[in-house]
Structure 1
Amino acid sequence: MDHHHTATEGRALTRSAISATLHCLTGCAIGEVLGMVIGTALGWGNLATIVLAVALAFVFGYSLTMAPVLRAGLGFGTALGVAFAADTLSITVMEIVDNLFMVLIPGAMEAGLTSWLFWASLAAALAIAFALTVPVNRALIARGKGHAVMHRYH
């Protein structure tokens, strides 16, 4: 019996999914925090702040995926296609979860940048989004989708 596991099986698959989700979390967190800070500092409403945070999460998420693909010599259009294939579902799930969590915590969005409630809620939202996105990435990688697409190029 072969006990060797590939990145599409068992613990190796789970490790790959965690790694992909951490990668996604990095881009999402940069964009999310930046968007929340800008929207809150400008006194924008929840919807405008969330739209900005989500847009920036996608920009930073895709950018972090594109950088190594571009360094591998692929053109911008191809690298953008790889980023879309690798990250769209992961970022979407993460953004839905973390923004929903922020909206559901009473006063979190209105708390302001100097409030522990704002920062604790945002940190908890991102942690919950991470936990719920790992299984999504695991399923994608097992099927040769998601971040498995990116690893073909570097």
Structure 2
Amino acid sequence: MPLQEFLTQIEHTLAPVRHVMKPILSDPLVMGVWALFVVAAVGTLWWDIRKRNQALPSLMKGVWTLVVLYSGPLGLAIYWYAGRTQISHDSLWRRGFRSTVHCYSGCGAGEVVGFALLAGLLALQRTTLVTVGTFALAYTFGYALTVGPLLQEGVGFGEAMVDALYSETPSITIMEIAAIGTDLLVASQAHISDLLFWGALVFSLSVGYVFAFPVNAALVYVGVKEGMENPAEMGQSQRGAQAAD
């Protein structure tokens, strides 16, 4: 089956999803309420980090901020379950969530920049050029969040890139196929001035996270990825240092 015919068949199959989501994601009241939820979620995150979770490294604080900006209360719930130093114990599921978060923060930034720049500011239709460009930016941002910390730890650039390609490519690929595919399905004709443009972008990011989570959990399980560091151990280290002082 030719690729174009295959994609057309998928679009036809998922047409009911588009018919349901378009009016919701273009409704000013719905999106206004969602914006309030996001603001409240980010405020709660920052309050909790400042008051209770200063032990988290700056990079992780930034990662969690992006996650909550993308997914609002859903992102905050993931942070509460898997990202705080107060978690009772670590587990495969928590490590899978944190691993996905790491990928999600970078890829999401690449997707936002890609669609806002290519389909928005340059007024290009969401065609092959925009899709490929957004994919490329998502990979670039996603890899950067893996390569950057490794370089800071003294790992050579070549080794860091190999590690990023090996560990991050499967999850980035699945995440972006789901996220960009959802955005194209719901808002392929929307312009940057349309509420649907932003509503579909936000919705697609969360869809990408949902699809990438089982991939990351599996990669953690087989040892390809370690997941972000256990925050409970960071909290214990900080409390030990404070006690020593």
User: Is the structural similarity TM-score above 0.5?
Assistant: yes
Shift of 1:111: 1.4
Shift of 1:113: 1.4
Return the letter of the residue paired with 1:76. Answer: F
Gap runs ≥5 in structure 1: 1-9
Alignment of 1:1-154 (within 5 A): 12-40=91-119, 41-46=121-126, 47-105=128-186, 108-145=187-224, 147-148=225-226
Contact kept? 2:95, 2:227, Cα under 8 Å: no
Structure holding more helix per residue: 2
Shift of 1:11: 6.2
Shift of 1:150: 8.5
Once the two structures are aligned, what percentage of the paired residues are identical?
37
Question: 2: distance between equivalents of 1:149 and 1:113?
Answer: 35
Shift of 1:38: 1.2
Q: Deviations over 1:59-97 (max 9, x none)?
A: 010001111111111100001011111210010000100
Contact kept? 1:28, 1:57, Cα under 8 Å: yes
Return the letter of the residue paired with 1:83. Answer: A
Structure 1 range deviating more: 93-102 or 35-44? 35-44
Contact kept? 1:24, 1:87, Cα under 8 Å: yes
Structure 1 range deviating more: 42-51 or 118-127? 42-51
Question: 2: distance between equivalents of 1:141 and 1:19?
Answer: 10
Shift of 1:42: 1.1
Query: TM-score, normalised to structure 1's length?
Result: 0.84
Question: 2: distance between equivalents of 1:111 and 1:139?
Answer: 36
Contact kept? 1:35, 1:56, Cα under 8 Å: yes
How many residue pairs were aligned? 139
SS of the residue corresponding to residue 74 of structure 1 reads coil
Aligned to 1:5: none
Query: TM-score, normalised to structure 2's length?
Result: 0.54
